[in-house]
Structure 1
Amino acid sequence: MSIPYSSLKQVPLSYASCSIGCAPTDILPRRLQAISQAGFSAIELSFPDILAYGAHATGQEIAADNYPQILPVASEIRRLCEENGLKIMMLQPFSNFEGWPKGSREREEAFARADGWMEIMNVIGTDLLQVGATDTPKESISVERENIVSDLRLLSDKLADRNYRLAYENWCWSTHAPGWKEVWEIVKAVDRPNCGLCLDTFQTAGSEWGDPTTESGLIESVSQSELRKRYEASLEELASTVPAEKIYLLQISDAYKVSPPLRDKTVDGLRPRGRWSHDYRPMPYDGGYLPIEDVAKAVLRTGFRGWFSMEIFDSGPQGTGKRYEMGSYAAKAMDSMQKLLKNCATD
């Protein structure tokens, strides 16, 4: 399928609230202002940002399950977004939900958390919940496909009661679904009209092309020619088999090639690709090396013309931190997004 540039001019552009700001003074209202002034029309609202803004506004920490205190903060954030002409496109990241043993305390807490987050969705005015494919260790959960599907089907039905949707995302360090195809197979099996995909340029290229533990930054278990062949075949399959209407958004970021490579071990509960995701993800054309344009083109070839959302975690090539002024940084992100769209066009 061709990708006419004329069809890309109206692609709506969003920015994750957690993906900007590098100083304690870069509080949420200032972030929203920078995102709005750069021309983005919506945000993904990060749950940790709600808690952080609540602590700033009230002078005290708010527990992650204290919804009576969280909801007024969420309401104020919605007001701030409206002041800045921003829609709250999605609440994220809802993680480690699926696979807990039936009758376990963790499973009960996961479903209670779902109820609480739906109350937040009601207050902030979004209908979309991002659910990341769990990275809980296999020793703690069941990764049997039927159990994963059953849990997500129950969550989809709970969301459907309020006309909400579930955007399921592959995380490249996930215990059971690191690639786009795994989450797509799960979404198909869930078989609910309100359950679709959150795709991500980094998560796809980072699971099928890159590896932060190797000197080359590439998966080295096969030759580079075989790696390219497999990657192209995977993206061709995505473009030809995933219906556009089952894609709810595409998140945009690249990755630095880590030097020296990350050690192939779990640190602070995160596998290497998880650490890579948290600290080494610049915007496109800003020092990264993954073939992310190929992912975006494959998604656009499905006919998808929905949300492109900038979600970056840029602590610099060494992962040690980065300083910038938010206004110019957000403007640079918009330029990067526009360049990506132009480069994806076939005309």
Structure 2
Amino acid sequence: MESKIPLSPVKNIPMSYASCSIGCKSSHTLPQKLEAISDAGFTGIELSFPDILDYGSRMYGHQIACDNFAELTTVAGEIRKLCKANNLQVMMLQPFSNFEGWKRGSKDQENAWFRANGWMEIMRVVGTDLLQVGSSDSPPEKLSGRREDIIQDLRDLADKLAQNKFRIAYENWCWSTHAPTWKDVWEIVKEVDRPNVGLCLDTFQTAGSEWGDPTTSSGLIESIPRDELEKRWKASMDELARSIPPEKIYLLQISDAYKPVTPIENKEINGLRPRGRWSHDFRPLPYDGGYLPIEDVTRAVLKTGFRGWFSMEVFDGGPEGKGKDYEMSDYAAKAQDSMQRLIQSSAPR
């Protein structure tokens, strides 16, 4: 009988917090966010690009354009000092999106590379080696439609990042044009076949693509019977647990989802698909009003043997997605408690 290596204990899992995931007022500044995150016992952050823009605009006294990388790299240097003062590691820069699969030689492809080079410089200055790349949600008609182009683009980006010993954490967005599920991004990562390309898995994105649906009254995918949905979901989590090597998982992002009080309209609005709107405004902390089977996802990831970064990434607009008022220090402390509870409740027995 084949012996099985015991899984490492979960008590030493490092915990991070996405900077975009805290603060409910425009007056909440990045220094205030970092202080609350640090005081709650988190040791790392996902540094969100909008927070760089906001902090830089306050620092310079004028709005900074998202492509003004000369000013943004200066801002990044100041943010690095802030993080060090709060004993926080910049675990990852996020969210880099709509990079892969553009039509060859298009202006969109040229702009994607311009952005990539600018973000790499920010990574260097802020002191992180990890770039989150979200699976593209660009309109299909603007993309080449060729899988080999997606693979080649990610290989080229990986090779460029490798020059600085940087890595890609590729994430499935549940409204993505070409890779909405964990298995979609895992198949792509395998084809890309670069040592510095791995996965950013996410409890919301995983359950939100295969189990939940914000456009239905039940909040579930209703195109198949409930018992079949549950059967497929369990099989998917079993497959995740046995098929992904732990070293190819770079982090697990944590959040739940509210079932919208009124189902989200099943059409694209302002360029954003229903699950995208769900993602932006309806994602609470674990055990705080959500309904997705996030313990199933967490347990499957832990069963792979992964014991790396768990990172809180919530967008908590309340059950109606219209906003929620809270004190940041209290919310960060609550996030720490819910993260600990999720880890303990999901630990493989």
Shorter-normalised TM-score: what interval?
Answer: over 0.9
Following the alignment from structure 2 to structure 1, what is the Cα–Cα distance between the partners of residues 344 and 105?
51
In structure 2, distance between residues paired with 1:51 and 1:245: 32
How far apart, CA to CA, are the structure 1 residues paired with 2:25 and 2:303? 39
Match of 2:33 in 1: 31
- 2:295 corresponds to: 293
CA shift, 1:78, in A, is 0.6
Q: Which residue of 2 is the match for residue 280 of structure 1?
A: 282
**1:228-269 deviation digits (Å, cap 9, x = unpaired):** 000000111110111100000000000000121001001111
Q: CA deviation at 1:2?
A: 9.6
Equivalent residues of 1:165, 1:194 under 8 A apart: yes
Q: Post-superposition shift, 1:345?
A: 2.0
Distance in 2 (CA, whole Å) between partners of 1:284 and 1:36 is: 19
Aligned to 1:243: 245
Shift of residue 142, structure 1, vs aligned partner = 2.0
Match of 1:183 among 176, 182, 185: 185
SS in 1 for 2:24: coil
Q: Deviations over 1:78-123 (max 9, x none)?
A: 1000000000000000000011111111101101111110000000
Match of 1:42 in 2: 44
Native 8 Å contact 1:3 1:300 kept in 2:
no
Q: Could you give the per-residue CA deviations for residues 117-143 of structure 1, whole angstroms, max 9, x where no partner exists?
A: 000000000000000000001011023
1:290-345 Cα deviation digits (max 9, x unpaired): 00000000011000000000000001000111000000000000000000011012
CA distance in 2, matches of 1:188, 1:341: 28
Give the alignment of 1:47-126 within 5 angstroms: 47-126=49-128
Deviation track 1:17-59 (CA, whole Å, cap 9, x = no partner) reads 0000011221000000000000000000001110011111111
Higher relative contact order (CA 8 A, sep 6+): 1
Secondary structure, in 3 states, of the residue corresponding to 2:237?
A: helix
Name the SS of the counterpart of 1:150 in structure 2. helix
Q: CA deviation at 1:346?
A: 3.6
Look up the match of 2:140: 138
- Distance across 1 between alignment mates of 2:295 and 2:139: 32
1:324 is matched with 326
Confirm whether residue 161 of structure 1 aligns to residue 163 of structure 2: yes
Equivalent residues in 2 for 1:198-347, closer than 5 Å: 198-347=200-349
Partner of 2:10: 8
Q: Deviations over 1:205-241 (max 9, x none)?
A: 0000000000000000111110000000011111011
Give, in whole Å, the separation in 1 of the partners of 2:81 and 2:92.
16
Q: Where does structure 1 lack aligned partners over 5 or more consecutive residues?
A: none
Q: Give me the identity figure in percent.
A: 66
Residue type at the aligned position of 2:258: Y
C-alpha distance in 2 between matches for 1:3 and 1:94: 36
| Offset at residue 144 of structure 1 (A) | 2.0
Output the CA distance in 2 between the equivalents of 1:267 and 1:10: 42
- TM-score under structure 2 normalisation? 0.98
Distance in structure 1 (CA, Å) of the matches to 2:31 and 2:232: 44
CA distance in 1, matches of 2:93, 2:50: 10
Letter in 1 for 2:231: K
Q: For the aligned residues, what is the CA RMSD?
A: 1.1
* Alpha-carbon distance, 1:3 to partner: 8.3
Task: Give SS of 1:139's match.
Answer: helix
Q: SS of the counterpart of 2:200?
A: strand
